[in-house]
Amino acid sequence: MTGKRWTAFKMVSLLLVVVSLACAFSVYEVSEVKFWTLLAITALTALAFLTLFSASQKNLHHFVTEMESQLNLTERDSLYKFPAPAVIIDSDGIIIWYNIAFTEQVYGNDAFGLPITKIIDIDLQKTLENKNTTVSYETGHFRISAVTTEKSDEDYNIISDLTLLYFDDISDYITLENRFNDIRPAVMLISVDNYDDILSNEKDSEKAHTTIQIDKQLETYFEEYHALMKKLGSDKFIVIAEERDLNSMINNKFKILDNVRNIKVAGKSPVTLSIGVGRGSVSIQESEKDARQALEMAQGRGGDQAAIKTDSNFEFFGGVTKGIERTTKVKTRVVSTALIELIESCGNVIVMGHRFGDLDSVGAGAGLVGAIRRLDPEKEAYMAVDPDKNLAKPIIDRLNENLTDELSIFITPAEALEMLTDRTLLVIVDTHNKDIIESAELYERAQHIAVIDHHRQTVNFIDNAVIFHHEPYSSSASEMTAELIQYFGGVEKLPSYYADAMLAGIMLDTKNFVMRTGVRTFEAAAFLRKLGADMVAVKGLFANSFDCIRHRSQLVSSAEIYRRCAVAVDETSTGDSRISAAQAADEMLGIEGVDASFVIFNTPDGGINISARSLGAMNVQIIMEKLGGGGHQTMAAAQFKDMSIYDAKAKLIGAIDEHITNIS
């Protein structure tokens, strides 16, 4: 008992003695004998009370003192002998005390005076702020909790502070967590690329032989990893594998892609697979959904690769062969019919390509605008293109010169925004990447969107299109447009200068029918030729100025050969840099021993661009994707901001090294 209660107790005791004496004196006049008797009794009682009270007070103080001493000793001894490791550190993180368990379980030597960070890799500041953190040490995994005690002076200024770090061994929980993660099921969906196309003209015996070989390769591979495989159809499979086995497949870069590629149909065409992987989801159903998205991404990039859906992105493996061309036009006819219905239901149509539109982007867009105007003469249709920032001025000038009897095809992005309504159809050609479209504002405000593109699918693709016509096997967007408009009414009346524009786009992307050409490429060219396309006039669209040719020659002559790659750096920044760089990259492929070419150049807006080309021996798309770009296996590009041209070259060299290491 302390404080006010203790003082009150003493005052009440004194008052009791005073009252007893008063009572004794009150009987003095009645009887002197009773007075002295009561006085004696009162005095003896008060004396006894005071004596016992004083003794009990001393005993209580002794008891409390003894208990406090015993508790402090027990507390110190218990903490020292506590089975969990504990240390006390000062404000500088220096160990000033530790218990036996710390010596036995964490650090076997004398730790006194050592910084705690020298013994354990720990972010001390984070631990003190969050009061706990988890670390892995040689002897196990620990959760560290921190309790800080501060000592202040009379003015409440902190004199010193000590922190107790308590180690909770969670090794069993970590082991259990790792075990859970190792056996979590991952879902893989597998599709044989263009199964019907590559076997369409083969004998039944050849089809059966190829199917058996594919099944055997898949069964052998997945049995090695203890995975469950189920055939869903002649060309589709589903695989359930544990996470640890999936990691092993990732480490060997899905060798099944190479194994199946060795299977040849009729001794010529290789069989390729597309694999979509969903992992780490809350349920198998969610993993299967992710696997479907990943499979679509793998197929959209040309097939022959595995795509893994991660939390916010995709990871790719393979993709070393060219996509196999589809021979059937069923999909094209279906898409064309759907596009016609969409055009007829909308009020007006705006076609848009990518920034710095080239002959393919502008040619495909112009051809589509012309076909829409023939389909419905009352329908307003225009192409939005920046009149200053484009690489297709020859096509634009040629069309403007020949449009004597109709409205201009081309409008600026600003004019397109003024025409945009709730019933406007926006058709995006030659790109599906949101980051490189001609006008981001036009895309964001449009409510009806269609996409026509041939580039291999990227992660940041347009995902809200009503029609997403994506053919990575096509040579160009102009080829796809030529195929689509064959089903448009009135297309036979399309003026020849529209056909010239689309043919120029095909010739640009195929390098005059050398690269990425297939049967359908020549069929599209034949259709355009039937519409009146003039090869001589188209060839004239590729004419360059003398300065451009000289600039291109300088780039080629300054190129360096690195690991079978020709790398040129253009330190100038001229108006024809983009054209010169692309043409120089194409020309350097003619150098003996060169599998790929790269030209790094400055852009007028202060950025750095890389133009990449190959003949198929090296996948430049994968290299450019490592730098944030993309494209095709034989034609790709990347852009940088706030970087010097030589820093960009260093990044390119690193990406080339990484790619060659991965495929070796």
Question: Last residue of a domain, which of 506, 540, 574?
Answer: 540
pLDDT of amino acid 71 = 46
- Identify which has the larger pLDDT, 6 or 500: 500
CATH number of 624's domain: 3.10.310.30
Over residues 548-573, the mean pLDDT reads 89
Same domain, 535 and 551: no
CATH number of 418's domain: 3.90.1640.10
Give the confidence band of 40 by pLDDT, cuts at 50, 70, 90: confident
Over residues 407-434, the mean pLDDT reads 93
Using DSSP bridges, classify how beta strands 269-270 and 596-602 pair: parallel, antiparallel or unpaired. Answer: unpaired
Q: Residue 473 domain-assigned? A: yes
How far apart are the C-alpha atoms of 405 and 73, rounded to whole Å? 105
Over residues 229-258, the mean pLDDT reads 92
Over residues 610-630, the mean pLDDT reads 87
With a cut of 70, say whether residue 532 has pLDDT above it: yes
Give the confidence band of 541 by pLDDT, cuts at 50, 70, 90: confident
With a cut of 60, say whether residue 26 has pLDDT above it: yes
Same domain, 252 and 167: no
Lowest-confidence segment of 65-74, 225-234, 432-441, 503-512 by average pLDDT:
65-74
Q: Residue 486 domain-assigned? A: yes
With a cut of 70, say whether residue 316 has pLDDT above it: yes
CATH number of 205's domain: 3.30.70.270
- Mean pLDDT in the chain? 83
Give the confidence band of 202 by pLDDT, cuts at 50, 70, 90: confident
Q: Residue 114 domain-assigned? A: yes
With a cut of 70, say whether residue 60 has pLDDT above it: no
Residues linked to residue 630 through DSSP beta bridges, in sequence order: 637
pLDDT of amino acid 321 = 61
Same domain, 284 and 206: yes
Tens digits of residue pLDDT in 627-643 = 888 877 888 889 888 88
Same domain, 314 and 345: no
pLDDT of amino acid 351 = 96
Q: Name the helix (H) or strand (E) containing 399.
A: helix 393-402
Q: Residue 324 domain-assigned? A: no
Contact 625, 582 (CB under 8 A): no
Same domain, 511 and 580: no
Q: Residue 323 domain-assigned? A: no
- Identify which has the larger pLDDT, 66 or 351: 351
Residues linked to residue 308 through DSSP beta bridges, in sequence order: 277, 315
Q: Residue 325 domain-assigned? A: no
With a cut of 70, say whether residue 70 has pLDDT above it: no
Residues linked to residue 186 through DSSP beta bridges, in sequence order: 241
Same domain, 469 and 593: no
How far apart are the C-alpha atoms of 222 and 277, rounded to whole Å? 14
How far apart are the C-alpha atoms of 450 and 427, rounded to whole Å? 5
Contact 277, 253 (CB under 8 A): no
Which residues have a Cβ under 8 Å from the Cβ of 166 and sit 6 or more positions away? 84, 85, 86, 144, 145, 146, 147
Provide, rounded to the nearest whole percent, the portion of the chain with pLDDT above 70: 86
Tens digits of residue pLDDT in 160-200 = 677 888 788 888 888 888 888 888 999 999 999 878 777 77
| Cβ contacts of 215-223, under 8 Å, gap ≥ 24 | 217/256, 217/259, 217/260, 217/263, 218/190, 218/256, 218/260, 221/255, 221/256, 221/259, 222/256
With a cut of 70, say whether residue 459 has pLDDT above it: yes
pLDDT of amino acid 411 = 94
pLDDT of amino acid 29 = 66
Same domain, 377 and 524: yes
Question: Last residue of a domain, which of 177, 205, 233?
Answer: 177
With a cut of 90, say whether residue 425 has pLDDT above it: yes
Tens digits of residue pLDDT in 292-301 = 988 988 887 7
Same domain, 405 and 531: yes
What is the tally of structural domains in the chain? 5
Give the confidence band of 448 by pLDDT, cuts at 50, 70, 90: very high
DSSP SS3 for 662: helix
Residues linked to residue 613 through DSSP beta bridges, in sequence order: 597, 635
| DSSP secondary structure letters along 515-581 | SS--HHHHHHHHHHHHTT--HHHHHHTT---HHHHHHHHHHHHT-EEETTEEEEEE----TTHHHHH
With a cut of 70, say whether residue 27 has pLDDT above it: no
**pTM for the full predicted model:** 0.64
Same domain, 472 and 520: yes
CATH number of 173's domain: 3.30.450.20
pLDDT of amino acid 334 = 85
With a cut of 50, say whether residue 340 has pLDDT above it: yes
Domain coverage including residue 284: 185-318
Q: Residue 356 domain-assigned? A: yes
Same domain, 206 and 245: yes
With a cut of 60, say whether residue 324 has pLDDT above it: no
Residue with tokens 């009990």: 56
pLDDT of amino acid 370 = 93
Same domain, 572 and 522: no
Q: Residue 399 domain-assigned? A: yes
Question: Last residue of a domain, which of 79, 106, 140?
Answer: 79
Which residues have a Cβ under 8 Å from the Cβ of 274 and sit 6 or more positions away? 190, 191, 193, 295, 298, 299, 303, 304, 305, 306, 307
- Nearest of 64, 281, 73 to residue 187 by alpha carbon: 281
Same domain, 270 and 402: no
How far apart are the C-alpha atoms of 493 and 134, rounded to whole Å? 74
Give the confidence band of 119 by pLDDT, cuts at 50, 70, 90: confident
- Identify which has the larger pLDDT, 588 or 516: 588
